[in-house]
Structure 1
């Protein structure tokens, strides 16, 4: 019986296009001005200290161009997006089936959490300022790359331990088969979201769902 449900964001709750055509360009355009204004703030300075090389701005731009899953980059992007959401310039995209399903799962007692390569801050912001309103309170955990890489079984073991998820009672939702492989190796049940709009390729290695309503049916109502 599934009691804990862990979900990815990009390609799962949210369109890949929103991340790559809205969030990433917004952060890239605002990066230099943000660092000029906040580079000496303790939180930002601590993140910059984790960026290697003499020209940290150049390193960050290179990471952005290659979509490197580096924790300091993801954290800085989250801080930039915070300002964008607060100003109303950004609103978190969710597929139409997602908000109702999340509310229904929570109402039936499922414990919900997020695991994304985006920072915890970025995750919270997207759901707090979503197009469907503030959904952040539905979740009791937001896990990012501080737990480890998403294609490493150890990361999911750490999440299960931190979350208190019993072995075999946690389900992980993602569009990426390799992430699901790692989660399954750590004892999670798995389901691949195969959304035609995102061009997801079915792996054949995991149960599949077209959307969150399909996941609900697989959970038994």
Structure 2
């Protein structure tokens, strides 16, 4: 299980106290956070959010329920952290690869597709939970995650719109539908890709980039 780490905005206005903690306490908290988040991720993949209890998470992490609540106020908070982190990691990666790709829409779109596929092939559990448990997020957290997902889609839509406007893409389909198709097919990788099956994440990412360029009718 490839666990992705990032620092999201806190849920429900919780303050980040790590800067005020002694170094040893900060490291202890980080270790316990990681153990519990990994245990929760494993449980959510296996049993789903609603089929998982804080007792399940604590047992998998080898600790007590009260200890779990000391680090995380609720199961919903844990879900928010898992989902928001994978979204933020993807947003950060898309920003980097888009900047590195340069202004050409085809190069940008190919780079975005590669990054999207690579993340979903390497962090399948986080990606699976992020997509399957969106409905289970606390009502105050769901709009924030949807906004992050909209920002992810916007990278792809902007590249596609630019390509269509500049005549580099010759698809007759609307940019909105092309964007939905591209993001959906990239996201789906997390559900079926199996490491060790003969195709590396890098090979898969390159293959998908080529498929997407053909789908939008790239001319270069």
TM (norm. structure 1) is: 0.30
Higher strand proportion, which one? 1
- Structure with higher Rg: it is 2
